[in-house]
Amino acid sequence: MDFLSSLELTGRMIRDVFSLADSLKGERRAKPLAGKSVALFFEEPSTRTRVSFEVAVAQLGGTPIYIDARTSQRSRGEELSDTARVLGSYCDFIVVRMNDHDGLETIAKSAPVPVINALTHLEHPTQALADCYTLRERKGSVKGLKVAFVGDIAQNTANSLMVTAAKLGASVSLVGPCGSRPNPVYVREARRHASVTVTESMEKGLDGADALYTDTFVSMGDEAEAARRRRLFMPYQLDRKALSYAKRDAVVMHPLPAHRGEEISADVIDGPHSIVWEQALNKLTIERALLAYLSKRAH
């Protein structure tokens, strides 16, 4: 049982993972991965996702094994399917970070064990689970909230967040310039579950929001057009003025790494509305729960 996309999630699965997260939070005796190994195959840089997955596996009694493209035979052109087949014969799970979503699907097809998406250019589904779990902790429930994503609404975190939050009953507002339109596949799926609006107006899109979410203006793979993207998105910085449109008790979210003075102002990310450190910590909480959930179903 793979976890490649937020599109595959059901409300039931999200609730089950959240319940497991509740019961495993602070619990260190449960060892559902005892005797198991988890390969972390990362072709892109990571701080939080890599370390939180390594810690999650170790805390659940398993052995994490990190390999990257630079120091593995991928650097010399080994086929992804061959790498996946071999890793899957040694390990019980493969956690993958790579830009190319098709590459992730190739790994999932070739590996005989569950594969988890730790970010592709299309999605960051474990991040969205951690984000919605954090919102649930803060607000009691995600249902009925207005979640606004501001900035580059065409990127992976926006895709996964809109679908996951909508499946939990939140209305979603996507706020960005006309040069950045959301992916229609994710909007269509999110609209099957809740209202999704798309606007260029900060005032309209953030009005009455319970959560304001942003992410980098220059995603991995977009470096060549960094200057153009910064110019395009700068009017959509999550700053004090943007925050003033939202509810008084709105929370500010960001998956990190943050670029203060670009997608978010320093006073907002470091201010009282920010819950970014809770989000970061809950990556570990959710990854532990997800691994325990998948382990129960796979073995």
Positions touching ligand CP (CB under 6 A) are 46-49, 119, 127, 255-257
Least distance between ligand CP and beta carbon 112 (Å): 26
Q: Are 140 and 169 in contact (CB under 8 A)?
A: no
132 vs 194 by CB, closer to ligand CP = 132
Beta carbon nearer to ligand CP, 48 or 85: 48
> In whole angstroms, how close is the CB of 124 to ligand CP at the nearest point?
6
**What are the structure tokens assigned to 130, written together?**
């951690």
Tokens of 193: 């579950």
Residue placing its CB nearer to ligand CP in the complex, 52 or 110:
52
Residue 113 or 119: the one with the smaller Cβ distance to ligand CP is 119
SS (H, E, C) 134-184: HHHHHHCCCCCCEEEEECCCCCHHHHHHHHHHHHCCCEEEEECCCCCCCCH
Question: Which DSSP string do the residues of 78-142 spell out, in sequence order?
Answer: --HHHHHHHHHHH-SEEEEE-S-HHHHHHHHHH-SS-EEES--SS--HHHHHHHHHHHHHHHS-S
97 or 146, CB closer to ligand CP?
97
In the bound state, the residue with its beta carbon closest to ligand CP is 49
CB of 117 to ligand CP, least distance (A): 11
How far is residue 18's CA from residue 39's CA, in Å, rounded to a whole number?
24
The CB-of-271 to ligand CP minimum distance in angstroms stands at 20
Q: Which residues pair with 68 in a beta bridge?
A: 42
Q: How far apart are CA 91 and CA 116, in angstroms?
A: 13
Minimum separation from the CB atom of position 298 to ligand CP (A): 24
Shortest spacing between CB 51 and ligand CP, in angstroms: 8
Neighbours of 84 (CB within 10 A): 25
- Cα separations (Å) of 61 from 54, 112, 295? 11, 21, 12
Whichever of 226 and 298 has its CB closer to ligand CP, that residue is 226
